[in-house]
């Protein structure tokens, strides 16, 4: 990750400010405010603002006066009950805002989570930086033969080197053409006064999807946890999963009781269909159940056996 001197100074200035407030604050998250957490080669995620804490969840569920009306153990128990039984509205009382720098192709996957407020850096008005995501060699993999959305074996040797060369060359070439079409220097003045520059909103269309963009992304805790349940999952694409993993660390600092309940009941849990549960019950009853007489298709059977740690 690279930050300009201006960006570093801006972060330092923001962190140096403090203000008295009567609202709940979380020291662990306060310590992380504004700081850029590196992700991928040039990306980052940082917390800009937040509202609420674990007590806000409890307060909303009890509709109680003030805070700290119950013991921490009771608060944890209530939060775990709410998470376990999918009572979502108390978690919506907490909100958080992130500043994220990410490759465009990751942003297009991320934006499918429509339960957030988003404001993205606009290449209609500003010039994008010459920064591109180039995967580390260990993350270059062939297409999976069993999963159309996944990766297979890692590429090696000349194959990997050739792919990396193509990614770098294409990104640099298209950015050079982008800059040529703009015909602008860092101040916005024409590089060649005798040649008109193409409109920024048109010049941008030539850029590769590994070009970095930025946005502010604000959401409530309920929808953030839904995002994390999908994107911090081991099956999620690596390039978005690493962002989700860093964001989960901020949730651990912000609402530790809710974060632990989320890890227990969502991230580290599985959902069984009625048919799968029936199979488990038959097995517990001592019956030797095989896939043909289980009522499950082969894929469902393999998934259940994987969950149970048994050979399919």
Active site residue ranges: 231
Question: Residue 220: beta bridge partners?
Answer: 95
C-alpha dist (Å) from residue 157 to 137, 144, 154, 188: 9, 19, 10, 43
Q: Which of 225, 212, 256 lies closest to 99, judged by CA? A: 212
- DSSP codes, 11-24: HHHHHH-----SS-
Burial class (CB in 10 A: 0-12, 13-18, 19+), 272: middle
3-state secondary structure 196-211: CCCCHHHHHHHCCCCE
Secondary structure of residue 288 in the 3-state scheme: coil
Are the CB atoms for 138 and 154 separated by under 8 Å?
A: yes
Describe the strand order of the beta sheet including 212-220 as a list of residue ranges.
37-39, 43-51, 95-103, 212-220, 117-120
């Amino acid at each position: 990750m690279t930050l300009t001197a201006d960006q570093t100074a801006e972060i330092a200035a923001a962190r140096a400010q403090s203000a008295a407030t009567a609202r709940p604050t979380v020291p662990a998250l306060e310590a992380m405010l504004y700081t850029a957490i590196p992700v991928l080669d040039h990306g980052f995620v940082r917390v800009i603002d937040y509202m609420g804490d674990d007590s806000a969840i409890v307060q909303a569920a009890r509709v109680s006066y003030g805070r700290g009306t119950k013991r921490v153990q009771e608060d944890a128990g209530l939060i775990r009950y709410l998470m376990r039984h999918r009572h979502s509205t108390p978690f919506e009382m907490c909100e958080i805002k992130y500043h994220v720098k990410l490759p465009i192709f990751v942003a297009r996957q991320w934006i499918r989570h429509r339960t957030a407020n988003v404001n993205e850096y606009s290449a209609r008005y500003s010039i994008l930086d010459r920064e591109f995501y180039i995967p580390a060699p260990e993350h270059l993999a062939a297409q999976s033969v069993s999963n159309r959305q996944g990766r297979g074996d890692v590429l090696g040797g000349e194959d990997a080197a050739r792919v990396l060369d193509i990614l770098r060359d294409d990104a640099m070439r298209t950015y050079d053409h982008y800059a040529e079409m703009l015909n602008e220097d860092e101040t916005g003045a024409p590089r060649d006064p005798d040649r008109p520059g193409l409109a920024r909103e048109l010049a941008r269309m030539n850029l590769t999807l590994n070009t970095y963009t930025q946005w502010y992304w604000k959401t409530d805790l309920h929808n953030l946890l839904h995002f994390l349940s999908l994107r911090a999952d081991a099956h999620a694409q690596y390039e978005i999963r690493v962002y989700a993993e860093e964001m989960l660390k901020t949730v651990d600092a912000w609402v530790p009781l809710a974060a632990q309940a989320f890890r227990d009941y969502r991230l580290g849990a599985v959902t069984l269909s009625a048919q799968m549960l029936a199979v488990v019950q038959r097995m517990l009853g001592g019956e030797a159940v095989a896939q043909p007489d289980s009522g499950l298709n082969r894929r469902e059977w393999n998934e259940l056996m994987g969950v149970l740690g048994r050979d399919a």
